[in-house]
Structure 1
Amino acid sequence: MLRLFVGIELPDAVRQALAELREAHPAARWHEPEHLHLTLSFIGQVEQGRVQSIAQALVDPPGSPFELAVQGVGYFGSAERPRIIWAGVADSAPLYRLQQQVEARLLPLGLQLDERPYTPHITLARVRQGLPLQTFLQRHGTLGLPAFTVEHICLFLSSGGERGVRYQVLQRFPLA
């Protein structure tokens, strides 16, 4: 079984700027810069034989290239027990349209997609136990990086290992 998702690759400059937000804390496992991305749709576990039909559904994604900017930081979970520390993105109608269109293409394949409302974010760290966030949020809450152009989406493979989760691009799909 393969664990898949559809997402947006980040330019090197954005990944490096986000990597500079890392802070030493024994409970936080920070993602390596090369693994930072923006998820559009989490697919989950699928058999290897289904990868080709998923990729075929993503060929020629609708929409044209658009600008996207990383903005702000936050967390999932409670302030006392955060689970994930993330960077957000500026409000973007083209991003939401693209996310909805990607999921519309995947649903006919019988995939069980996430039913929660889409919250665009870039996971920076996973937290194993309580982590005081007040200082981090105050220091980086006004984060604003220059916009970058989203020119393609990717089908990613997610795999776990001793050194944490790793993400590999299986295929890129240019926006029209």
Structure 2
Amino acid sequence: MIRAFVAIPLPDSLLPACRAAARVAISGRKVPEENLHLTLVFLGTQETRRLEDLAEALEVLRPPPVTVHLTGLDVLAGFKLSRHLVATVEPEKGLLQLQEAVERAARRVDIALERRRFRPHVTVVRDCIDPTLPPWTAVPEASALSFSLFRTTLKKHGAEYDALATYPLPGAPDH
């Protein structure tokens, strides 16, 4: 059984804004830069065969170009009583179309998904004391280059993410 999700790795040009956002948290665990991502669909714990089927289904998707535009900071409830500092993301048309297509693909291969509203964001600090949210400095948008099917491995120091499969998005080099 594998704990998994589908997400867009954060474009490099947006990393400085997330680093700056993480500095406002009084406490908590800063998400390492290599783990910053925008979750499209959380899959929970799945059998390997189901994830292989999903990987094949994602391969044939023809998603539109996706722009990631960070719009501000917020604090969201996490598991149990935890709070997470997040950078909110503009729910632009291409992003919403990709998220819906990934969700449909998961359901087609019989992955049961939680019914929850898609709130695009990038978690920058986990388990934080509610920070005072500073005014947001405008951040340029960036084109997403790809999305990936990730495996999560929970460790003492936090989660580790490994891409099981990666899919280029329109506008990415060599696409």
Query: Secondary structure at 1:6's aligned position in 2?
Result: strand
Query: Secondary structure at 1:96's aligned position in 2?
Result: helix
Cα distance in 2 for residues equivalent to 1:74 and 1:94? 23
Q: 1:151 is matched with which residue? A: 145
Cα distance in 2 for residues equivalent to 1:70 and 1:19? 13
Q: 2:117 is matched with which residue? A: 117
Deviations for 1:62-90, whole angstroms, at most 9, x for unmatched residues?
22223221110101139xx7611100112
- TM-score scaled by length of structure 2: 0.86
Structure 1's 60 and 151: CA in aligned 2 closer, same or farther, altered over 3 A? Answer: farther
Cα distance in 1 for residues equivalent to 2:156 and 2:16? 23
- 1:127 to partner: Cα distance: 1.3
RMSD of the alignment, in Å?
Answer: 2.0
Cα distance in 2 for residues equivalent to 1:143 and 1:4? 33
Cα distance in 2 for residues equivalent to 1:64 and 1:162? 38
Matched, 1:93 2:87: no
Q: 2:157 is matched with which residue? A: 163
Unaligned ranges ≥5, structure 1: none
Instruction: Give percent identity, aligned residues only.
Output: 30
Cα distance in 2 for residues equivalent to 1:132 and 1:9? 25
- TM-score scaled by length of structure 1: 0.85
Aligned residues of 2:41 and 2:103 also touching (Cα < 8 A): yes
Letter of the 2:142 counterpart: F
The size of the alignment, in residue pairs, is 167
Cα distance in 2 for residues equivalent to 1:54 and 1:118? 20
- 1:20 to partner: Cα distance: 2.6
User: What is the 5 A alignment of 1:54-133?
Assistant: 54-77=54-77, 83-127=83-127, 131-133=129-131
